[in-house]
Amino acid sequence: MDLAGNFADQSVDYEAFLAVAEQHHSLFDNIQMGLPGGDGIGGLQTVYYDELGTWSHYWGQWSGTGKFTGNEVTQFIHLNWGWNEDGKVNFFNANFDAGFFRDEIAAASASGSE
């Protein structure tokens, strides 16, 4: 999987992608994704573009509570997946403000947990 949108020239396989998800859960409790002020899970749309192929886009709100800072974080996110001809993801990027994530990593490191 190409992460050019976030980390140019880096590839991630299934196990590495799951490791990132596990890291989120090691840093945050009560992780939720949805529509602001609602019970919906967010907006997901898959579109075919003539020049770019098939893409799926997610728009929504991410929230969680830092396990080390105690900070309650809520922010909008936009996720994108590009699909190849075999129906597998070959591109992924995530658009969000990562400052809260860096803060939580720093707090975990300072506590000796990470």
What are the tens digits of pLDDT across the range 60-80?
999 999 999 999 999 999 999
> Average pLDDT, whole number, for the chain?
84
Per-residue confidence band for 16, with pLDDT thresholds at 50, 70 and 90: confident
More confident call, 6 vs 46 = 46
- The domain 14-111 is placed in CATH, from the list 3.10.50.30, 3.10.450.50, 3.30.360.10, 3.50.50.60, at 3.10.450.50
Tell me the C-alpha to C-alpha distance, in Å, between residue 34 and each of 5, 43, 81, 98: 23, 8, 18, 18
Q: Model-level pTM greater than 0.85?
A: no
User: Of all residues in the chain, what percent carry a pLDDT higher than 90?
Assistant: 44
What's residue 112's pLDDT?
84
Per-residue confidence band for 12, with pLDDT thresholds at 50, 70 and 90: low
Yes or no: say if 58 and 43 are a contact pair by the CB < 8 Å rule.
Answer: yes
What's residue 24's pLDDT?
87
Query: Could you tell me where the beta strands, DSSP code E, fall in the chain?
Result: 28-34, 43-49, 53-66, 72-83, 89-95
